[in-house]
Each structure stands twice: as structure tokens, then as C-alpha cells.
Amino acid sequence: MNGKTTGNRRLLRVLDGERLWPPPVWMMRQAGRYLPEYRATRAKAGSFLDLCYAPKLATEVTLQPIRRFGFDAAILFSDILVLPHALGQKVWFVEGEGPRLEPVDLSRLVLEPDRLLPRLEPVIETVSRIRAELSEETALLGFCGAPWTLITYMIAGRGTPDQMPARRAVLADPAGIDRLVDILVGASIDYLTAQLRAGADAVQIFDTWAGALDDTGFRRLVIEPTKRIVAGVRERVPGARMIGFPKGAGGHLPAYVRETGVDAVGIDWQASLDFVRDAVQPLTAVQGNLDPLHLVVGGEALDASVDKILDRLGDGRLIFNLGHGITPDGSIDNVSRMVARVRTAGRR
């Protein structure tokens, strides 16, 4: 699989260089708790991790938003933390609170990269199942968490407001952080390659906490590892399509795009649309950037924000999406309203 069979999949055409109107649309966390069918399937699975590792059920929840909204892309239902879990770190999820991990000790780092892919076989099977059930017109996206974002959880043992434990470790034990980055880069290359070979059309690298770093840290822990992952995956899967999402990157976006070589970059809702249009979109396709809160509130504010994104970014390559994932209190009606507004936008 060389990643260059586009067919009728509109999202892939944008990644390959076309500007389409109206733009393709999908939504981060589109399979999730805001959907009653997801909640019913989740109840059958037991724990959240059990759902991630159950190919039949994970396939079902991946397809649910496609059936309901007809998005242009499905994204594999899983979690970024299956990678450290597969490396041997203890991971579990607390209902209503989120993930918990047994924090790694950088002074005696014990992970098991050789056992990564065998432990992730159920996830790779899910990719194959999804592709077999999707229509020819719908793209399939795989993903992984970026090394820096994984490190923030692996060191702190949970999400933290300012990523202070990981940032402190970067200063206190730079060699230990470098060893952990190397492990995660290699594991990410293996994992994303397996997803592409199993049927994913493109993969996205989520760097949720990229914005927590200063200039030096951003280059060292966001740009450089992502560049290595992109190059490593493309060495094994020539032409592999890859999307980066460095949330909170702001003014670092142009450098991130130029130096990593991604085919598209996700834009969070805090980014200036004029800056994105003028400094980022000439370099690559952009994806985003509706504030997920609009899918809670809806109404004319939702319409106006959709229109603003289309107006500012519609003359270039655009994949319409959110600036982060939909929240559990997002409204199904508002999602339908958003998709309809994008697809019936006036011709440019």
C-alpha cells in the first residue's frame, strides 16, 4: 500500500493537493459519549480499554457517526494511551475522571518495544474491519499520540493543567527524556505503519500539549520527533499521507509544517484565521478550527463561526473540522447543523 490511491475520497484529494468546495468535513472524537449509540456499545464492552481492544465493538463505534452524519472520513476508535500501555506501562481509566498511569521512572526506564505490535494486534484488526465496511467514498484515518503528549501522561500518571511534571523532567533529566523520546518515536513509526498497511488511508499525530512548551522545547520535543516519525513511516510506506495536530502551536505552525513534512496541519480554535490563511495555508492543507463549544450552544453563533472559517480559509486547501474534539455535552442536532452548513455553503 503506497498511500496514493485517492479514488472518490474527497479528504484524500485535499491531502494530495486539490482545493475542493465545499471542503470535506469530519470531526475529532466524532465517535464518543455525545452519541446514545456509542454509550450503548460502551456499556457492552465494560471498561474503556476493553472497548479499544475489542475489534468488533471498536469497529461499530467508529462507524456510528458515519452512518448518522455521513462524514467524509472515519477515524479509528482507540486512544493515544494504548501505545504506552502496549509498551508495558500500566494504564487504566477512571470513570468521569480520565486516564491513570503508573508513572515511569526515567532513571531506570523499563519498557518493552519488542512486544508493542503483538499487544496492538486487536487495534490493527479493527483498522482492517473498518476499511472493509466503509464505503468507497469515505476515507479512513488512523492515529497516534505524539511523543511529547504521551510523555506528559507517562511521567505525571494523569493529565495535568500545565504539564509541570513533564516540563520539570525535561530540565532535570534531559538524557532520560531523550531516551524516552527515542522509544516513542520508534514505537510510533511501527504503530502507524501497521495501521496504514491494514487499510488506513492517512494517519494523524495528536500533540495535544504542544502549546505547553517554550521555543526551545517546541523544536526539540514537538518538531524533531514528529519529523522523525513522518520520515520513518514514509520510508516504510512511500507516499504515506500524514496529518499533524500540534494544539496550541500558534506562531510555530509554519516551522512545524515546513520541517515535519506533514500533508496537513490541524488548527486549534485559538489560532488567528488570518495568520493561518496567510502564513500556514500556502504551505499545506489546513484542518479545523471550530470551537467545540459551538456544538453545545448552537444557534446563530454556530452558523456565523462556520461561515467565518469557510470565508477565511475556503480559497485554499481546507478540511473542515473542530479545533479539538467534540465534548460529551455536544448536541447531535448541532453537529447535523454544522455539517449541513458546510455542505451547502455558497460557491466560491
Which residues form the catalytic set?
A: 29, 33, 42, 79, 153
The burial of 279, by beta-carbon neighbours within 10 Å (0-12 exposed, 13-18 middle, 19 or more buried), is given as: middle
The answer for 185, left when phi > 0, alpha when psi is -120 to 50, beta otherwise, is alpha
Half-sphere exposure in the Cβ direction for 95 (13 Å, CA): 5
Nearest to 205 by CA among 231, 235, 242: 242
User: Taking a C-beta distance cutoff of 8 angstroms, is the pair 223, 256 a contact?
Assistant: yes
Write the burial class of residue 17 (CB in 10 Å: 0-12 exposed, 13-18 middle, 19+ buried). exposed
- The cell for 179 is 531516551
Helix or strand (DSSP H, E) at 245: strand 241-246
Cα separation, 119 vs 135, in Å, equals 29
β-pairing verdict for 98-101 and 139-145: unpaired
Report whether 195 contacts 203 (CB < 8 A): yes
Contact yes or no for 29/74 (Cβ under 8 A): no
What is the rounded radius of gyration, in angstroms, for the C-alpha atoms of the chain? Answer: 19
Report strand pairing: 285-290 vs 264-267: parallel
Q: Which helix (H) or strand (E) holds 147?
A: helix 147-156
Largest Cα separation within the chain, whole Å, is: 59
Task: Choose among 41, 69, 23, 61: nearest CA to 331.
Answer: 69
Q: Provide the 8-state DSSP code for 161.
A: S
